[in-house]
Amino acid sequence: MRNPEAEYRKRTPTSERFWQKARTTLPGGITANVKYYSPYPIFMRKAGGSKLYDVDNNEYIDYCLCYGPLILGHGHPAVVETIKRQLDEGGTTVYGTPNEIETKMANKIKRHVPCAKTVRFTNSGMEATLHALRTARAYTKREKIAKFEGHYHGAYDSVTVSVTPPLSQAGPDYAPIPVSNSAGLPNYILENTVVLPFNDLPNTEKLIRKHRSELAAVIVEPVARGFLAPDIDFLRGLRALTDENGIVLIFDEVMTGFRLGLGGAQEYSGVIPDVVALGKIVGGGLPAGVFAGEPEIMAVLSPVGSKSPNDHLFHSGTFSGCPAVLAAGYATIEVLEKPGVYDHINWIAEEVKKCMNDVFEDYTIAAHATGVGSMFQCFFTSTRPIRNYRDTSKADAQKRVRFDLELINNGVYVRPHKPFYTSLAHTKADLEKTCEAIKEATTTIAT
Ligand SMILES: Cc1ncc(COP(=O)(O)O)c(C=O)c1O
């Protein structure tokens, strides 16, 4: 039987050495927990277009793309030139005052994202969801929030609940129990969070009705983890229920925003939330986030005419609205606006999924690739369709990790066990090489 880990170690000795050194200073040798996987993560040295190059001079076709933001690929010239121009012409990295690019970028977002009528910038997607939730609390004067099991909104207390709960602790399918997803989470967070079952409108409705007078917001990833498609009637039902009960509906579009299309999941589903959180692509590859929504709700943020600290919502951030970041995001959206761009990005994803599914069928392996647009996942399970977190957690994770290590050994980079993303920079030649790697990796799993 082939041993993907032994081959991985043989190809990446410098990464192992760098990682051992990093561990002496960085907990776990990494700067974000998502970057760690066993036996050790690869250290990259350079990138360009669809490619990553590691410290052992191995080349990879990149399907991680920094977990989604690099929809144009690495170092797209329009983005890089814009950042350089902004730094040159602006004469600094950041002004610390209002600047014109903020309004220009806010209007660009407003033009494309239906609910984004008024806009605030942050430095990350997680700050965007955090402030969206606080905005809902300030507006409704209620404290509890409802989130969906298996949905990720960032790494802070209010949302580090039931993201990847062990099924043994997660309660019945129809009424998930809030489970802590991190050491250090205070109990009051669990007490103030209602956990809902995705794509299950009758049970979601029961839980929302039960807590309706206490709920400030329902936050949802409209396409869960970027690859679990919503039933459109489920999202419509959620919209009606939140409207009926005066609850703010927040779409976390950090992953789907500008990836599913210029109007994100709102355009895809036709369902318009009250508030949206954006991130990733909106920063053009630099750190950024946005929360935006209905003027009546977002008005709680305005300090104009304020008489006391408690009569408006305090949102701040030294680097919020950083001009180089906004310019990079603006340049990215301008490329995405060109005809045919999304067609290419989605076509690449379709072809890779098709190759996986054909090869799995040829080898009679119970596995399949599934996703929406240019985001997809691959599951070693016979369950289909996969509709929610509980379905995904029944798949064979060990097999998937072996498959991913073998893809990496064959020059295709994906962060093991995480989704695949495609970009404008991926080519037909990349597709052919990727399909060969998929065949090799599947051979390993089959033996
Ligand atoms: C749906 C979703 N929300 C929020 C976040 C957090 O964004 P960031 O990592 O920029 O803080 C992520 C990150 O992957 C995400 O996928």
**Which sequence positions are flagged as catalytic?**
152, 252, 280
From the CA of 322, how far away is ligand 1's center (Å)?
Answer: 19
From the CA of 235, how far away is ligand 1's center (Å)?
Answer: 20
In this prediction, residues 53-80 reach a mean pLDDT of: 98
In this prediction, residues 427-432 reach a mean pLDDT of: 98
Specify which residues 301 forms β-bridges with: none
From the CA of 435, how far away is ligand 1's center (Å)?
Answer: 29
| pLDDT, tens digit, 9 for 90 and up, residues 208-267 | 999 999 999 999 999 999 999 999 999 999 999 999 999 999 999 999 999 999 999 999
Cβ atoms within 10 Å, residue 90: 15
**Nearest of 243, 167, 178, 252 to residue 205 by alpha carbon:** 243
Name the CA dihedral angle for 143, 243, 281, 420, rounded to a multiple of 10 degrees: 90
**Rounded distance between C-alpha atoms, residue 143 and residue 140, angstroms:** 8
Cβ atoms within 10 Å, residue 391: 18
φ, ψ (nearest 5 deg) of residue 297: -80, -45
Cβ atoms within 10 Å, residue 201: 17
Integer CA distances (angstroms), 441 to 44, 46, 304, 408, in order: 22, 25, 59, 9
pLDDT at 2: 81
Task: Provide the mean pLDDT of the chain.
Answer: 97
| pLDDT, tens digit, 9 for 90 and up, residues 115-170 | 999 999 999 999 999 999 999 999 999 999 999 999 999 999 999 999 999 999 99
Pairing verdict, β 51-54 and 275-279: unpaired
Dmax (CA) for the chain in angstroms is: 72
**Rounded distance between C-alpha atoms, residue 25 and residue 22, angstroms:** 6
Which atom of ligand 1 sits closest to the CA of residue 256? Answer: 1
Which atom of ligand 1 sits closest to the CA of residue 221? Answer: 1
User: Nearest C-alpha to atom 7 of ligand 1 is from which residue?
Assistant: 125
Which atom of ligand 1 sits closest to the CA of residue 67? Answer: 14
**Nearest of 262, 233, 219, 216 to residue 114 by alpha carbon:** 262
Which atom of ligand 1 sits closest to the CA of residue 253? Answer: 1
* Ligand 1 proximal residues by C-beta, below 6 Å: 67, 124-126, 129, 152-154, 221, 252, 254-255, 279
- Residue 211 CB burial class (10 angstroms; 0-12, 13-18, ≥19): middle
Instruction: Report residue 445's pLDDT band, with 50, 70 and 90 as the boundaries.
Output: confident
Residue indicated by tokens 């073998």:
406
From the CA of 52, how far away is ligand 1's center (Å)?
Answer: 22
In this prediction, residues 381-403 reach a mean pLDDT of: 94
pTM of the model: 0.98
Instruction: Report residue 433's pLDDT band, with 50, 70 and 90 as the boundaries.
Output: very high
Query: Could you tell which of 126, 282, 377 is best to mutate to test the pocket of ligand 1, judged by most ligand atoms within 8 Å of the CB?
Result: 126
DSSP code for 65: T
Which atom of ligand 1 sits closest to the CA of residue 124? Answer: 10
pLDDT at 447: 75
User: What residues have CB less than 8 Å from 68, skipping those under 6 apart?
Assistant: 226, 255, 259, 280, 281, 375, 419, 421
φ, ψ (nearest 5 deg) of residue 282: -65, -15
User: Nearest C-alpha to atom 9 of ligand 1 is from which residue?
Assistant: 125
Amino acid at 292: A
| pLDDT, tens digit, 9 for 90 and up, residues 309-360 | 889 999 999 999 999 999 999 999 999 999 999 999 999 999 999 999 999 9
Percentage of the residues of the chain whose pLDDT score is greater than 70? 100
Specify which residues 59 forms β-bridges with: 53
Residue 290 has pLDDT above 90, yes or no: yes
What stretches of 12-124 show up as alpha helix (H) in DSSP?
Answer: 13-23, 77-90, 100-112
Q: Is the peptide bond before 186 cis (omega within 30 degrees of 0)?
A: no
Instruction: Report residue 415's pLDDT band, with 50, 70 and 90 as the boundaries.
Output: very high
From the CA of 330, how far away is ligand 1's center (Å)?
Answer: 20
pLDDT at 193: 98
pLDDT at 334: 98
Opening angle at CA 373, ends 369 and 377, nearest 5: 25
Q: How far apart are the first and last CA of the chain?
A: 6
Task: Confirm if 258 and 282 have CB atoms less than 8 A apart.
Answer: yes
| pLDDT, tens digit, 9 for 90 and up, residues 52-66 | 999 999 999 999 999
Query: Could you tell which of 70, 153, 278, 319 is best to mutate to test the pocket of ligand 1, judged by most ligand atoms within 8 Å of the CB?
Result: 153
From the CA of 122, how far away is ligand 1's center (Å)?
Answer: 12
**Rounded distance between C-alpha atoms, residue 124 and residue 279, angstroms:** 6
In this prediction, residues 270-277 reach a mean pLDDT of: 98
Half-sphere exposure of 253 (CA within 13 A, CB side): 36
Pairing verdict, β 59-62 and 412-413: parallel
User: Nearest C-alpha to atom 3 of ligand 1 is from which residue?
Assistant: 153
Name the CA dihedral angle for 301, 303, 308, 309, rounded to a multiple of 10 degrees: 50
| pLDDT, tens digit, 9 for 90 and up, residues 215-230 | 999 999 999 999 999 9
Specify which residues 194 forms β-bridges with: 146
pLDDT at 295: 97
User: What's the gap between Cα 258 and its chain centre?
Assistant: 12
pLDDT at 152: 98
φ, ψ (nearest 5 deg) of residue 228: -95, 105
**Rounded distance between C-alpha atoms, residue 78 and residue 334, angstroms:** 9
**Nearest of 133, 127, 121, 158 to residue 249 by alpha carbon:** 133
Residue indicated by tokens 């300090």:
303
Half-sphere exposure of 145 (CA within 13 A, CB side): 29
pLDDT at 446: 84
From the CA of 226, how far away is ligand 1's center (Å)?
Answer: 11
